[in-house]
Amino acid sequence: MSFLGNISNFDYKNGDWSIFKGRLNQFLLLNKVEEDRKSALLITHLSDDTYRLLRNLLHPKNIEEQKYKDLVSVLDEHFKPAQCSFVDKAKFYGATRGPSESLGDWAARLRGLASFCEFGTALDMNLRDRFVLGLGAGPERDKLFEADVNTLTLTRALELAGQAESAREAKAMVTNGAGVIIKQEPVYRAAGEATWARRAAPRAAAASAAAGDHGDPGSRCRVCGLKNHSAEKCRFKTFKCQKCGIKGHLRKVCPVRVNNLNTEEEDSDAGSFDCKECSLYNMRSEN
């Protein structure tokens, strides 16, 4: 016969009889177990030590001959909790929230400790007070200290403490830079003619200064790049560069394209203007 769900074995050394009995009763109800089979199911779900204990408690009666309600009654009597003592109340009043314990777990643990204290009608008030005072220093307790003690309930205290905890965690994320990081993508723009001119201006001035053109026979003209005349006497000094748009030099000596100079383009630049002097000295030589 197969059953719906499952139930673990009960070991009185490690388990709680009241919890096991509650789960066992629900298991029997779910599977509609007949009365004459309940005792057998209980016995088969007892550990060896628990079975031995029950057999000793029933002696001289035979454990296999007992009805389910009689077996449960014997175990109830044996595992009946002790009466409330100052030890139980000391555990309750001395309890504090653990470092990694959630607010819900802290409230549930307090209810478990209070079950041995027999608070009666004062249960809710004692649970609320211990919950607040046992939180420890922090924004959660500070928030609850501001509440009206006459109207504050345990449910409301748990809600307010949860809000303060969420606010503290959010603030810590912002302070530590653990918030959402938005990646900044680079923006690429095509440089127009005016942009090239602005970029080329300082480089053109630097190239002219570095050239140190004083009209020496071995130096090149910084305007057209040819030799044997100075920049002041060059006929191209009033022309505008076709590359960067700046007046005062030709395209072949433009700093924008100086790293990729093309000889054929130089010839076409020089030949495109009517200058006999530059054409006269525009002679190719092989090194």
| Domain layout of the chain by residue ranges | 17-78, 86-175, 193-280
Pick the CATH number of 86-175 from 1.10.1200, 3.30.70, 1.20.58, 1.10.1740: 1.10.1200
Residues 259-281: tens digit of each pLDDT = 444 444 444 444 444 444 444 44
pTM: 0.44
Q: Which range in 79-88, 92-101, 268-277 is most confidently predicted, on average pLDDT?
A: 92-101
Residues 41-58: tens digit of each pLDDT = 999 999 999 999 999 999
Position 230 confidence tier, pLDDT thresholds 50, 70, 90? confident
Give the SS3 label for residue 199.
helix
